[in-house]
Structure 1
Amino acid sequence: MRFLKSFYIHNRFFRYIAFLAACFVLSYWVPILYPIGWVLVFILMALFVFDCYLLYTTPNAIQCERNLPQKLSNSDHNTLTIKLSSKYPFKTGISVIDELPVQFQKRDFEHNIHLQKGIPYQFDYSVRPVERGEYIFGNLNIYASSPFRIVKRRFVFQKDQMVPVYPSIIQMQQYDFLAINNRLSEFGLKKIRRIGHTQEFEQIKEYIKGDDIRTINWKATAKKNQLMVNQYQDEKSQPIYSIIDTGRVMKMPFNGLKLLDYAINATLAFSNVALKRNDKTGMITFSKNIETFVPAVQKISHLNTILEKLYNITTEFTDSDFGLLYAHIKRKVNQRSLLLLYTNFEHISALKRQLPYLLAIAKKHVLVVIFFENTELESLIGTDAEDLQTIYHKTIAEKFSLEKRLMQRELQQYGIQTILTKPESLTINTINKYLEIKARGLL
């Protein structure tokens, strides 16, 4: 049974059979082809037996290994590696078929190569998951064939490997490096000029053009005989909470990824940057209930707690209760904090229903409401209208787009900070708003 399970006929064998069949058919008109056909049949049978002998007499002829990371990063292109080597004394044709997890809905993975004896081969391929959870990689199937290409032998390696897909770790590491090296502006994160003197004192430095003359330190200036100014840094250890709405408004997908997962990825990357800048970070998720509450803590190890909580977020996408959120914040978050609320409003009436709760939260805390542009509508608005139906669709799309901007303006009129962003730009704009608030001393 083991032999039969590993035994396959090569596609080229059927071409040989077709050629022999053609010889026998043509022998009806050309009789000399009839004996030639039988000679070729016996040759093919002999080659068939010899090919089986070549493939099955070498034990453990093929070695293969699939290298998977401990965790896959959601919404990113994750690189996987497959390594191969051959013990066959001839040049071996190899077909690699990897059984990818069902979540990818990809059933045509195949990689064809030729292996020489003792010469290892390695190739990479990438996968992009768009859902968190457990991904099970099935069999790694290797089909080996000799230069005769008559039969194939199957080797099976590494059955059922499970890899969890976590929120975007790659994105988090990317912004982590930039935050440490103060290069966030390379990703479009603008520098904000500090206003006032609410920041903590850092050092005394030489005056350069553009420094605030109100920060001149006259005693240091007299000692150094040149203008010296006080330099301030952002206040540290301030509590910051990422609040994620897991209700039905966050189910809408863009580029295969739900708004909820965009918010989860942004929360992870932002929390890492905030912790590196010595602030306390916490997290709340809610819909009809308060599903997760992580108090704000300053320890770097706290990021692992946030990562696990984000990974385990599950939701039924029900209607969200903002009144319950307000009551929970009032009871649990006693210190004035920066609250980043990831939610979405498609109609201005939906905003007005939740506005009293948002205003109540904003009285005690610095509230930033983050909601999303509908990029599909924006692309529709940018197309040329060629008929009446397209004009109608564009008009409705422009109405929805205008409502988004009106919602942003109304929130700003009440003193609530807002971010209206494209889903793919969420992380950049969130970190940018955080740097702006810190620089202006609003918290």
Structure 2
Amino acid sequence: MIVYHSLLVGLLVRDALALPTRRGWEATRDIPNPLSLGAGQEILVGIRNRRAAGLQSLLADHAPLSLRPSAREVRGSFDARGEWIAAYAVEPPHRGSFQFGPIDLRTWRPHGWWARQVRILAPQAAAVYPNVLAIRQYQLTLRRGMPYRPGQRRSRPPGAATSFAGLRDYIAGDDPRRINWKATARRDQPVTMELEAERGQQVMILLDCGRLMTAPAGLLTKLDHAVNAALLLGWLAQQQGDRVGLIAFTDQVDSFLAPQRGPTQVNRLNEALYGVRAQYVEPDFGEAFGQLARRVTRRSLVVVLTDVLDPGASRELVTQALWLSARHLVLVVAMEDPALVAARDAPIDRSARAYEWAAAEELLATRRQSFEALRRGGVLGLDVPAGKLSPALVERYLELKERALL
């Protein structure tokens, strides 16, 4: 019996000694710089210790909970060099600066009796900016030839200002009228002409940061959906050779970015959008539109990112947009309220539901009337679900470029 116990103790001691001590651990954390608002992104945590080769492990990274990490713990094993890379995802719902804390690590031998836990200090700051990841994805899409090419036209609508940009191989879906038959005969395959839209125009983004923009729309608020759309639009306008500027406003103009052209302007736009915050006040459209009229004299495409729901605010928006449209091309962009649409479309199975339906229908009717008044006055409108705002706004901007309305 004594021999058995001695052997058992010896095995336990050997198993414990085979585990690395609390020293000698190295940790790195690879965080996208910056993190993109509302987008899923991968965090990589690298752990290294020569004595950890072949060990099983359990890792818990002290990531900010507000970044919505996909997992609190990650399991894995160290390779023959004593290295392991753990991965998890975050999906930040808010802009701002965040702090990562230490990394807790537990290791053990396969079929072993002991485990050792260590805490590795790894403080690290991370910033969540408007969705720059969408820009990278759009760049990749453009490189693949779908759906658009910067500065180039898919078609040639009547009255559009175009210039010859070059020749390329025909792609299914191209306008057959743009086939260059001489080049096709020389190359013995279909060749189409690229037509370039007019460049050097101007886009002003007016971002409403008032009360209605605080409403949640999925993971993000309406303001954050608008912020992401504004950045993507600004980048695309720069790609098209257009100038882009910004006015963010509540009951006053909170920030003004003069329209300019070039990649550095996109960086300035990103910084400006990073800092905007919604406030529980009514937006002053008159003040914002008035400052735009005084400070931006060149005819511009004015994109107003707002919400059209409150009857009083909607009347002011319509009045000011119609006034501004005498000098600029105005596009009012609003996000549908999914809860409001659901309240209207749900079956009326009790008397209380009838009141809910009536209230929802009244608000939606006000919304429809506002857009109809804008349309009659020559103001463009776009009303889409918040989750589809960015692609819908890009589509409308490119459509306006194609139609040469500016």
| TM-score class, shorter | 0.7 to 0.9
Q: 101-110 or 140-149, which moves further after superposition?
A: 101-110
CA shift at 1:381, angstroms?
Answer: 4.0
* Corresponding residue for residue 134 of structure 1: 97
Change (3 A) 1:416 1:250: same
- Whether 1:54 and 2:33 are equivalent positions in the alignment is no
Cα distance, 1:156 vs. partner?
3.0
Determine if the alignment matches structure 1 residue 79 to structure 2 residue 42. yes
Residue 329 of structure 1 is matched in structure 2 by 292
- Which one-letter code corresponds to 1:202 in the other structure? F
Q: CA RMSD in A?
A: 3.3
Identify which of 82, 105, 115 aligns with 2:78.
115
Q: Please report how far the alpha carbon of residue 316 of structure 1 lies from its aligned counterpart in structure 2 after TM superposition.
A: 3.1
Superposed CA offset, 1:45-101 (max 9, x none): 6665544433356952x5443222221011000111123445337742311001011
2:242 pairs with 1:275: no
**Aligned equivalents of 1:203, 1:329: Cα separation in 2:** 34
Match of 1:340 in 2: 303
- CA apart distance, 1:41: 8.2
Aligned position for 1:417:
380
**Which amino acid is the alignment partner of residue 397 of structure 1?**
A
Q: Are residues 124 and 254 of structure 1, via their aligned partners in 2, closer, same or farther at CA, if it must alter by over 3 Å?
A: same
Q: How does 1:6-405 map to 2 (within 5 A)?
A: 49-55=13-19, 60=24, 62-88=25-51, 91-104=54-67, 109-118=72-81, 120-147=83-110, 150-179=113-142, 183-184=146-147, 194-197=157-160, 199-202=161-164, 211=177, 233-405=196-368
Find the residue that maps to 1:434 and give its secondary structure: helix
Post-superposition offset of 1:410: 1.7
**What is the alpha-carbon distance in structure 1 between the residues aligned to residue 84 and residue 163 of structure 2?**
58
Structure 1: distance between partners of 2:330 and 2:22:
69
Q: Secondary structure at the match of 2:367?
A: helix
Deviates more, 1:240-249 or 1:168-177: 168-177
Alpha-carbon distance in structure 1 between the residues aligned to 2:33 and 2:139: 20
Could you tell me how far apart the structure 2 residues matched to 1:175 and 1:101 are?
29
What is the CA deviation profile of residues 311-368 of structure 1, one whole-angstrom value per residue up to 9, with x for unaligned ones?
1223434221112112211210011111000011213332113332222211110011
Number of equivalences: 383
Give the match's secondary structure for 2:157: coil
Matched AA of 1:429: A
Choose 388-397 or 407-416, whichever is displaced more. 388-397
Aligned match of 1:4 = none
CA 204–429 in structure 1, closer or farther in 2 if over 3 Å, else same = closer
Q: Larger C-alpha radius of gyration, 1 or 2?
A: 1
What CA distance in whole angstroms lies between the structure 1 residues aligned with 2:47 and 2:166? 61
Deviation of 1:432 after TM superposition, in Å, equals: 1.5
Q: Which amino acid aligns with 1:257?
A: L
Write the distance in 2 (CA, Å) between the matches of 1:133 and 1:382: 37
Distance 1:118 1:408 in 2: 64
Q: Is the 8 A contact 2:52 2:78 kept in 1?
A: no
Mind listing any 5+ residue stretches in structure 2 that lack a counterpart?
168-173, 179-192
Q: Which amino acid aligns with 1:110?
A: E
Aligned counterparts of 1:42 and 1:203: Cα–Cα separation in 2: 86
Q: 1:257, 1:115 → 2: CA distance?
A: 38
Tell me, in whole angstroms, the C-alpha distance in 2 between the residues paired with 1:264 and 1:251.
12
Contact kept, 8 Å, 1:373 with 1:421, in 2: the verdict is yes
Structure-2 separation of matches of 1:107 and 1:195: 51
Offset, 1:433: 1.5
Conservation of the 8 A alpha-carbon contact between 1:195 and 1:441: no
| Cα 1:106–1:69 shift into 2, 3 Å | closer
Give TM-score scaled by structure 1 length: 0.77
Q: CA deviation at 1:376?
A: 2.2
Helix, strand or coil at the partner of 1:363: coil
Alpha-carbon separation, structure 2, partners of 1:59 and 1:275: 51
Contact 1:281 1:298 in 2 (8 A): yes
Contact 1:248–1:317 at 8 Å: present in 2 too?
Answer: yes
Identity among equivalent positions (%) equals 22
